[in-house]
Amino acid sequence: MTSLFYGTRVPKTDLRVQSCGTVDELSAAMGVARSLMSDACKEKNILLESQKDLILLMGEIMILPGEWERHLSRPHKLITSEHITRLEEYISQLEQLQKPGSWNWSVPGEDRVTAALHLARTVCRRAERSLWAVLEADQEALSKNETARKNMSLLTVYLNRLSDLLWLIAQVVHD
């Protein structure tokens, strides 16, 4: 057993715990990629910033729908549309580095950095799917709590955009 935010005890196999663990794994995979990048690589800071966002995201995953009003009554930071906008701005900047249509899928492993980034990208996709499982399981409770539904939906969008960003970073950086 383990505790969710605000102390509700659940089995370690609970979907929220599984989802939070996958996001934690994502952050670790991003940390490996970041550790392999040169200090001069500006994308290294993007990864660190996103890892900090994932800490917020994990906290939000661990909030039951009925606990959102309580959570919002305290000064907690949350993932917001501004976080997503920031990722989209990074995506736009990276997309401008290449001519349209010149991005290619490649087999991960050309070098250590891009291999680590592609691993992080695939973990990010799994994290997004696991969060969707939480939302589906909580569908009834979320339909009764607009705040919880909105906040949890933002998390899925954030993970979706982050996986796109990780793919683009892998396209522009090399070991």
Residue 51 sits in a domain whose CATH number is 1.20.1200.10
Question: Interhelix angle for 15-36 vs 112-137, to 10°?
Answer: 160
Q: Containing domain of residue 162, as a range?
A: 2-172
Whether the CA torsion 162, 86, 51, 69 is positive or negative: it is negative
Say if CB 147 and CB 71 are below 8 A apart.
no
Please give the pLDDT value at position 52: 98
Q: Provide the residue type at 57 as one letter.
A: L
Q: What's the pLDDT score for residue 173?
A: 87
**Average pLDDT per block of 10 residues along the chain, 175 residues long:** 95 97 98 96 96 97 93 92 98 83 72 96 98 96 92 97 96 75
Residues in the chain: 175
Distance between CA 80 and CA 84 in Å, rounded?
Answer: 7
Q: Are 21 and 133 in contact (CB under 8 A)?
A: no
| Helix or strand (DSSP H, E) at 99 | none
| DSSP one-letter code for 173 | -
Q: How many domains does the chain have?
A: 1
pLDDT of residue 102: 60
pLDDT attached to residue 4: 96
Element (H, E) at 124: helix 112-137
Question: Taking the model in full, what pTM does it have?
Answer: 0.94
